[in-house]
């Protein structure tokens, strides 16, 4: 399945208010964890991404070179 299909077939798990609205649609667990995200969800310019979760002092993902801390996401 493609990133777009995975995002469209799953309900939203969490929201982030930056970048025109990020919506977490799916979490892929494994040796490395990944989030499937819809960016631009609130401004109509939707793009689909698969982003790796980094575990450090704070858990985060990198989106366009910016750190988005997972504790800043609002759980649905």
* Residue range of the domain that includes 35: 3-75
Q: What's the mean per-residue pLDDT of the chain? A: 92
25-73 pLDDT per residue, tens: 999 999 999 999 999 988 888 999 999 999 988 999 999 999 999 999 9
Three-state SS at 8: helix
| Domain count across the chain | 1
46-55 pLDDT per residue, tens: 999 999 999 9
Euclidean distance between CA atoms 41 and 17, whole angstroms: 10
Euclidean distance between CA atoms 57 and 40, whole angstroms: 28
pTM tops 0.75, yes or no: yes
4-17 pLDDT per residue, tens: 899 989 999 999 99
Euclidean distance between CA atoms 24 and 70, whole angstroms: 10
């Amino acid at each position: 399945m493609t990133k777009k299909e995975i995002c469209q077939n799953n309900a939203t798990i969490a929201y982030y208010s930056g970048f025109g609205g990020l919506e977490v649609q799916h979490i892929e667990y494994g040796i490395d964890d990944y989030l499937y995200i819809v960016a631009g969800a609130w401004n109509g310019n939707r793009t689909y991404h698969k982003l790796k979760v980094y575990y450090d002092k704070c858990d985060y993902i990198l989106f366009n070179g910016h750190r988005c801390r997972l504790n800043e996401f609002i759980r649905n």
